[in-house]
Structure 1
Amino acid sequence: MHGLTKISKKDIIAAVIIIAALAVLILTTDIQTPEEFYSLHPDSVAEDGSFVTLTVECKDIENYEENSLGSIVPKTKFVLNEGESVFDIMEKAMRFERIELDYSGSPNIYIKGIDGLYEFDHGPASGWQYSVNGEIPEKSCGEFFPNSGDDIVFFYTCDYTKTGGAGE
């Protein structure tokens, strides 16, 4: 047994602990393929059947390049799970649609940009706002919790002072 080193009990115990920790990490991590990650299909059903509709539009901008209707996401039904905020729905929808969403804060969320269209791109008072059932809430989208059947619209405005909101 020339050239072999003796393995101590400490080395064996350390190796077992490391292997056990790796096994726990692997077994408790939800590893998803890109298809699984983006598979939050809007037609999925919540246990209680709750849903909201979501639209993302930019009709305030003349000749917006996405399409002639000024819509980034047309009115689409999404599942509403218990405890989800308007932002949670928006984030889920953007991930499903594979659309860029740039924001800051938590839970006081500020939407900076959607699909490459950012605050201040069309003037000093331009940016993203949202409405629920036609009303602009006085809360951040991360702090507003919709009810089943609510109609959520994120819209780009060139002048938030004319829409009655604070730039969210």
Structure 2
Amino acid sequence: MTRMAKPNITLVQGDITEQDVDAVVNAANSSLLGGGGVDGAIHRKGGPEILAECRVLRRSPEYGKGLPTGQAVATTAGWLPATWVIHTVGPVWSRSEDRSGLLASCYRESLRVADGLGARSVAFPAVSTGVYGWPLDDGARIALETVRQADTEVEEVRFVLFDDRSYAAFAS
């Protein structure tokens, strides 16, 4: 087995569906059947093969009720420049309940899946910071800390951030 090391972290402002990496992480919903935001963009640009594999996963005993929050699973990337899509379900932010462990788990589990695939470069969105309401600065802190602490064979983790505000939160 290859020696585990810390990945090189890069920040890019742009479109995650255009990243030429081994694996793109999808901020999916638990159904795995597409949605809005990053999830919708990945399904639209990746084409029907991604949805077809997600439907197969949903018919399996393991994912029949959907993908649990904080977990990750891979499919083909279809027409995307990447080889795989790693789907992870982020938590909805809550004022009354600390769900930061679930958010960190999204990043750790995605890297674990990437290691199992042999992926060396992975592009992440800012999981849960869109419609799921996670405060951007805190989401960036959790993402960066989790990836920095991860033992993984992934050599490059690229955070692909959609706008100036997101980029600034990860860069600070």
Normalised TM-score (structure 2): 0.28
**Larger Rg computed on CA atoms:** 1
Structure ranking higher on relative contact order (CA contacts 8 Å, 6+ apart): 2
Q: Which is richer in strand?
A: 1
